[in-house]
Amino acid sequence: MAPMAQPPLITLNDLRLTFGGKPLFTGVSFSLSKGERVALVGRNGAGKSTLMKIISESVESDSGDVWRQPGITYAIVSQEPSLAGFETVLDYVSEGLEASYMAEAELMEFGVDGAADPTTLSGGQQRRAALAKAFAREPDVLLLDEP
């Protein structure tokens, strides 16, 4: 017996977005269900990051339909995460969490010292800290922008 398909978390239908009077993308349609992985591949400036912002409700498309399962949660890891303003890496990763144990566990998993000063981290360590922050939130949808 084949496993039942999961209901979609997000469905995009015929999205269109223009930027500076020129179409950034047109006719974008897809669904994302729990457990699925999707890769967006394209040239720089093709709209990959912007499409992720539409998915995560940060930007609206010019036209088309976006349906999201009610209560869906997102975590986004940007191309260049900013840890500015945090005294320790743990402060950054645990921001907004009720308990810091999830942040501590993820930092350990990603091999980053939670007690470290964020200004001393290499670019790779900053990305791992940003991934730890995203995973600690246990989101329904994890969006990784070229990490």
> Which residues pair with residue 16 across a beta bridge?
63
User: Are 37 and 60 in a shared domain?
Assistant: yes
In a domain, 2, yes or no: no
* Alpha-carbon distances of 124 from 29, 94, 108, 147, rounded to whole Å: 33, 19, 15, 9
User: Which of 48, 72, 96 represents a domain boundary (last residue)?
Assistant: 72
User: Are 13 and 59 in a shared domain?
Assistant: yes
Residues in the chain: 147
User: Are 65 and 21 in a shared domain?
Assistant: yes
Q: What is the pLDDT of residue 44?
A: 84
Q: Which domain holds residue 19?
A: 8-72
At 44-103, the pLDDT tens digits run 888 888 999 999 999 999 999 999 999 999 999 988 899 999 999 999 999 999 988 999
User: Which of 72, 103, 123 represents a domain boundary (last residue)?
Assistant: 72
User: Are 52 and 101 in a shared domain?
Assistant: no
Q: What is the pLDDT of residue 3?
A: 59
User: Are 51 and 101 in a shared domain?
Assistant: no
* Alpha-carbon distances of 40 from 11, 19, 24, 95, rounded to whole Å: 15, 19, 14, 28
User: Which of 19, 45, 72 represents a domain boundary (last residue)?
Assistant: 72
82-118: buried (b, 16+ CB within 10 Å) or exposed (e) per residue? Answer: ebeebeebbbbbbeeeeebebbbebbeebebebebeb
At 95-118, the pLDDT tens digits run 999 988 999 999 999 999 999 999
User: Are 27 and 63 in a shared domain?
Assistant: yes
